[in-house]
A = this chain, B = another copy of it.
Amino acid sequence: MKYIESKKNDEIKQLKKLSATKNIRKTGTYMIEGFHLVREADQYEQEFVKLLVTEKYEDDRLVKKYHDIAVTISEDVANDLSETKTPQGIFAVIKVNEENDLTDFSGKWVMLDDVQDPGNVGTIVRTADAAGYDGVITSLDSADFYQPKVQRSMQGSQFHLPIYRMDINRAINLAKKSQLKIYGSQVNAKAKPYNELTKIDNYALVMGNEAHGVTKEVLGETDENIYIPILGKAESLNVAVAAGVLMYGLQTL
Contacts and interface: CB of A to CB of B under 8 A. Distances in A.
Interface of A: 119, 123, 126-133, 153, 155, 157, 160-161, 195, 228, 230-238, 240-245, 248-249, 251-252
B237 A127 contact: yes
Given A161-B232, A252-B249, A130 B244 contact: no
Nearest to A195: B252
A228 B248 contact: yes
B130 A160 contact: no
Give the one of A123, A195, A235 with max B CB within 10 A: A235
B241 A129 contact: no
A153 to B, nearest CB: 7
A39 B17 CA distance: 44
The 4 closest A-B pairs by CB, nearest first: A132-B231, A241-B244, A130-B234, A160-B233
A232 B160 CA distance: 8
Contacts of A131: 231-232
A37 to B, nearest CB: 12
Contact of A234 (B126, B230, B233): B126
Contacts of A157: 233-234
B130 A230 contact: yes
A155 B241 contact: no
A44 to B, nearest CB: 9
7 contacts: A119-B119, A126-B238, A130-B231, A157-B233, A161-B233, A237-B244, A241-B241
A133 B237 CA distance: 14
B238 A238 contact: no
Contacts of A160: 232-234
Nearest to A123: B238
A248 B251 contact: no
A232 B119 contact: no
Contacts of A251: 231
A85 to B, nearest CB: 14
Contacts of A127: 234, 237-238, 241
A132 B245 contact: no
